[in-house]
Amino acid sequence: MATPARGFTREQRTTIVYGILGFVVVLVVLQLWLLTATMNAFLGGDRAVVLPAALVSTGCLALNAGLLRYLRRLERAATRAPAR
Amino acid sequence: MSDAVDPRIDSPGREGLTGTARSSVYEPAAEREQITLPPDGRPDSAQPAWRGDFPVDWPADQYVARRDFTRFLVLTSLAFTVGQWWIAAQQWWRERRGLLPLKRIARLDDVAPGSVLTFAYPGENDPCFLVRRRDGTLLAYGQKCTHLSCAVIPDPDRGVIRCPCHEGLFDLGSGRPIAGPPPRPLPRVTLEVRRGEVYATGIEERTV
C-alpha cells in the first residue's frame, strides 16, 4: 500500500481506523467460521477441505496484517507532519 | 461591540443577517489535535513513542482504543491461521501413518449375542466398543462422543448408543446421531471375522 502523501488529522485517522476495524472484524469472523467448519470436516474424515481452508485463512491474515501496516504508516506520517 | 455587530441589511454575502456578528470577531477555534499538549511542551514528533499510547483527551483515547482493538483482532486472526495449519499438519501426519494395522479383538464365541466388549484401536488411547446384536451382526464404533468426547454407552436391546454427559443419542445400526448435541456420527471400526476371530481392520470417519 502506498504511504499517504500527507499526515491526516486525528479525526480523519479515527474514521479510517473505524473502516479498517470493520473490515478486520468481518475477516476474523470469516476465519472463525472457517476454522470450526474445517475442524468439523477433519474430525469427520473429510480431508479435502483442509489445505484450501488453510490457504484462505492465510490470505485473510495477510489482508489483516496489510491493513494494520497501513494504519501504522498513517500514524508515522501524522507524527512526521506538522500539527494540524 | 458596535463594531462587531453588523447593522446593515444589505452587506454583501450577509443579506438579511442584520444585527449578527461577523465571524471575524471571534478567536479562531483550536483544532482538536491542539487541545492537549504534551507536558514538556515539545511537538508530537519529538515525543517518546509510548506517550502516544496513553492519551489524555477523549478523541485521542477513542482513536487509540480502536487501533489497539484492531491490533488484537489481527493477533486473533494469526491464532486462527495457526489453528488451520495445525489441522493441516495433523492431516499430513495421519496420511504419513498410512493404513491402520489389523488388530485382533476377541474370539467370536466369546462375544455373546446382545453383549458389548470394549477394546482400544488403533492406539492404546483410542477406546472403542464391539457390539454383537441379537441377530448375530457385529458392529464396532469409537467410544468417544463426537460432542465432547465423553465415553458413550451402547444399549443393544434398545438399539441406541447413549452419551450420559449431555444426553446425546446415536443409532446403534449406523452410529449416526439421532438426538442431543453430537454433531457427527461415531467413527465406525471396520471388522473382519477370520477363522472364528474378530479383527479390527480400519476406522471410517463420517461427517453425516
Q: What is the ipTM, given to two decimal places?
A: 0.89
Task: Look at residue B25 in the predicted model and tell me its pLDDT.
Answer: 60
Three-state DSSP class for residue A64: helix
Q: Are residues B197 and B122 in the same domain?
A: yes
CA B178 to CA B192: how far, in whole Å?
27
For the record, the C-alpha cell of B79 comes out as 491464532
Q: Are residues B66 and B144 in the same domain?
A: no
pTM: 0.73
Domain assignment of residue A31, yes or no: yes
Contact A83 B88 (CB under 8 A): no
CA-closest candidate to residue B197, choices B103, B101, B100, B99:
B103
How many folded domains does chain B comprise?
3
Q: Which residue has the higher pLDDT, A24 or B9?
A: A24
Residue of A nearest to B44 (CA): A79
Task: Look at residue A83 in the predicted model and tell me its pLDDT.
Answer: 46
For the record, the C-alpha cell of B132 comes out as 454383537
Region B57-76: mean pLDDT is: 91
Whole-number percent of chain B with pLDDT over 70: 83
Contact B187 A45 (CB under 8 A): yes
Asked if A68 reaches chain B (Cβ–Cβ under 8 Å), the answer is yes
In this prediction, residue A69 has a pLDDT band, given cuts at 50, 70 and 90, of very high
Asked if A30 reaches chain B (Cβ–Cβ under 8 Å), the answer is no
- Burial class from Cβ neighbours inside 10 Å (0-12, 13-18, 19+) for residue B27 reads exposed
Q: Are residues B121 and B195 in the same domain?
A: yes
Task: Look at residue B119 in the predicted model and tell me its pLDDT.
Answer: 93
Task: Look at residue B49 in the predicted model and tell me its pLDDT.
Answer: 80
Task: Look at residue A67 in the predicted model and tell me its pLDDT.
Answer: 96
Q: Could you tell me if residue B7 is left (phi over 0), alpha (psi between -120 and 50 degrees) or otherwise beta? A: alpha
pLDDT, averaged across chain B = 85
- Rg of chain A in Å (alpha carbons): 18
Task: Look at residue A12 in the predicted model and tell me its pLDDT.
Answer: 85
Q: Does the pLDDT value for residue B89 go beyond 50?
A: yes
Q: Does the pLDDT value for residue B14 go beyond 90?
A: no
Q: Does the pLDDT value for residue B1 go beyond 50?
A: no
CA-closest candidate to residue A21, choices B183, B113, B31, B77:
B77
DSSP string, A30-62: HHHHHHHHHHHHHHTT--TTHHHHHHHHHHHHH
Q: Which domain, by its residues, includes B14?
A: 1-30
For the record, the C-alpha cell of B131 comes out as 457390539
pLDDT tens-digit series, residues A12-50: 888 999 999 999 999 999 999 999 999 999 988 888 999
Q: Are residues B41 and B89 in the same domain?
A: yes
Q: Are residues B9 and B57 in the same domain?
A: no
Asked if B73 reaches chain A (Cβ–Cβ under 8 Å), the answer is yes
CA A74 to CA A79: how far, in whole Å?
9
**Total count of residues recorded for chain A:** 84
Q: Does the pLDDT value for residue A84 go beyond 50?
A: no
pLDDT tens-digit series, residues B129-186: 999 998 889 999 999 999 999 999 999 989 999 999 999 999 999 999 999 999 999 9
Q: Which domain, by its residues, includes A60?
A: 10-80
In eight-state DSSP terms, residue B144 is B
Domain assignment of residue A2, yes or no: no
Domain assignment of residue A43, yes or no: yes
Q: Are residues B90 and B164 in the same domain?
A: no
Across the beta sheet with B197-204, the strand order is B103-107, B197-204, B188-194, B138-142, B127-132, B116-120
Of residues B31, B80, B85, nearest to A32 (C-beta): B80
Q: Are residues B91 and B49 in the same domain?
A: yes
Q: How far is CA B27 from the centre of its chain?
A: 55
pLDDT tens-digit series, residues B108-145: 988 899 899 999 998 888 999 999 998 889 999 999 99
How many folded domains does chain A comprise?
1
Q: Are residues B114 and B146 in the same domain?
A: yes
Q: Are residues B125 and B200 in the same domain?
A: yes
Region B70-99: mean pLDDT is: 94
Residue numbers in A near B71 (CB within 8 A): 68
For the record, the C-alpha cell of A30 comes out as 470469516
For the record, the C-alpha cell of A9 comes out as 488529522
Asked if A44 reaches chain B (Cβ–Cβ under 8 Å), the answer is yes
Q: Which residue has the higher pLDDT, A41 or A4?
A: A41
Closest-CA distance of chain A to residue B142, Å? 12
Residue numbers in B near A64 (CB within 8 A): 73-74, 77
User: Residue B194: what residue type?
Assistant: R
Q: Are residues B62 and B132 in the same domain?
A: no
